[in-house]
Structure 1
Amino acid sequence: MARSTAEARRTPLNRDRVLATAIALADAEGIEAVNMRRLSQELGVVPMALYKHVANKDELLDAMVDTVVTEIDAPDPNLIWRSAIRSRILSARAMLLRHPWARRVMESRTTPTPAVLAYMDSTIATFDAGGLSIDLTHHVMHALGSRIFGFTQELYADATSAAPAPPAAAAAQLAAAYPHIAAVVASRPHDGHSVVGTGCDDQFEFEFTLDLLLDGVERLHRRGWTSGSGSGEAMAASGTG
């Protein structure tokens, strides 16, 4: 993927170029391919030259995340809050599909980067502009969790490899032992590229869950829900739902 060393040396080295090259390398070969030595080779410089622009690999990874997070669409002021949030989250998901390594890096960090914090802050601002209370918004952010960045953490999922389908005889035994699971699995065509192997259509399931959550948030907002009023079930029982 690298240009010739001579061509690379003719281009001045700066932080933007370092990050763009690191992102392109991660997109092409995965985040494991990104290290200071390999990056210096791609740029046609000695490794020490990189340290004028990034202090270490951790700073490099954080800066890579900050760069791709800025690809997420800005909030659209012309949309109502629910549509604006939905559109922005789907933009975040599209960004992660372009840069699948970014999810792993984000999950590995103990402190959010400035761009991640700015994205979260502007998401909260969209809820605020829509009239949601800070109390409700607090709980909505917990409920959405990683979905605001466009991904979910599936049970027993390994996003790096798909489990092979069991032999027909074994599948029949599993269906006999767990008929309700088998019925759900057989209810829709499956996507072989799903994060759960031969699981469901990831995009459909993501949007379905996102819409389900946003519908619930909208109902609570219209009711004037607060954390002091208890759960939705308690509200329904008391006749306030």
Structure 2
Amino acid sequence: MTADELPSVWTRQRRSRDQPALNRAQIVAEAVALLDAEGIDALTMRRLGTRLDAGATSLYRHVANRDELIELVVDEVYGEIRVPAVGDDWRAAVSGCAASVREMILRHPWIASLLGQVGLSYLGPNVMRLNEGMMVLLADAGFPADEAGPVISTVLAYVIGIGVNEAAWLTTLARSGQTEQDWQRRLGPALTRAVEDYPSLRAQQEQLVGQDPTALRDRNFAYGLDRVLDGLEPRRRA
């Protein structure tokens, strides 16, 4: 790497000759599988090499270091995100894309700890495809061209913020070996005592008793997204 090059897998020139027994796609796919199974702390070049039945040296022919590997796995899971055509209902299209981002985060909860430290991940082809698709969607929906970028940032900031919190919660549950319903039942008596002296909180808690916590998370996500889109609506064809 020269002094002018940025430290990213997306700026480094790839070697022209790949090792026949191993390629970058295999490495990234196995890294995602390792992360899904064991979380971010398990991702090391040595551990990954063991799973691929290859030495860490072999991996370095394709990925310079762990930071580059993280850029690659982030872009890989971004490839799962769908961007619908706008059709007759721009809100449905944006909501569909937002839901797809959230689903990706919940499928891969380890990403919650990476989104703030993934270097030049926005140069990856899947992230580029996502942004291009959203730009086209918003243009078709009637948003001014110079506002498309801020609209994307606004929607993704909401979705990622909610998704990261949910992913952290689900990771905690997974480590405890409990379901959301199990946790709700165990926490119920303590929560009832905690809100006893707070009338507004107590009334809210009484309304939530017996509700499915997963369905409640879905409703809360949809409510917040609707309010974001309400705020963006006046900017269409402004």
* TM-score, length-scaled by structure 1: 0.71
Partner of 1:71, secondary structure, is: coil
2:235 pairs with 1:221: yes
Q: Is the 8 A contact 2:36 2:110 kept in 1?
A: yes
The superposition leaves residues 110-169 of structure 1 with CA deviations (integer Å, 9 ceiling, x where unpaired) of 5443233442343233212211124554553453243355844659x755325965573x
Residue 55 of structure 1 and its aligned partner are, at CA, apart by: 0.6
Q: Which of 184, 205, 217 pairs up with 2:220?
A: 205
Matches within 5 A, 1:1-241: 12-76=21-85, 78=87, 80-114=89-123, 115-134=126-145, 136-149=147-160, 151-152=162-163, 158=169, 160-161=171-172, 168=189, 170-188=190-208, 189-191=210-212, 201-218=216-233, 220-221=234-235, 224=238
Residue 90 of structure 1 and its aligned partner are, at CA, apart by: 1.1
Q: Is the 8 A contact 1:94 1:150 kept in 2?
A: no
From the two aligned structures, give the one with the greater helix fraction.
2
Tell me, in whole angstroms, the C-alpha distance in 2 between the residues paired with 1:33 and 1:208.
36
Residue 96 of structure 1 and its aligned partner are, at CA, apart by: 1.9
Tell me, in whole angstroms, the C-alpha distance in 1 between the residues paired with 2:116 and 2:110.
10
Aligned length: 205
Distance of aligned partners of 1:176 and 1:151 in 2 relative to their CA distance in 1, 3 Å threshold: closer
Structure 2: 5+ residue stretches without partners = 1-19, 177-182
1:5 maps to which residue? none
Q: Give the aligned residue type for 1:97.
A: L
The superposition leaves residues 35-85 of structure 1 with CA deviations (integer Å, 9 ceiling, x where unpaired) of 101000001111111001111000001100111111111332545432221
Q: Is the 8 A contact 2:134 2:152 kept in 1?
A: no
Q: Is the 8 A contact 1:93 1:150 kept in 2?
A: no
Q: Is the 8 A contact 1:76 1:84 kept in 2?
A: yes
Bigger CA radius of gyration: 1
Tell me, in whole angstroms, the C-alpha distance in 1 between the residues paired with 2:84 and 2:188.
48
Which structure ranks higher in relative contact order (CA pairs < 8 Å, sequence separation ≥ 6)? Answer: 2
**Identity of matched residues, %:** 32
1:229 maps to which residue? none
Structure 1: 5+ residue stretches without partners = 1-10, 195-199, 225-241
Tell me, in whole angstroms, the C-alpha distance in 2 between the residues paired with 1:143 and 1:25.
32
Q: Is the 8 A contact 1:19 1:60 kept in 2?
A: yes
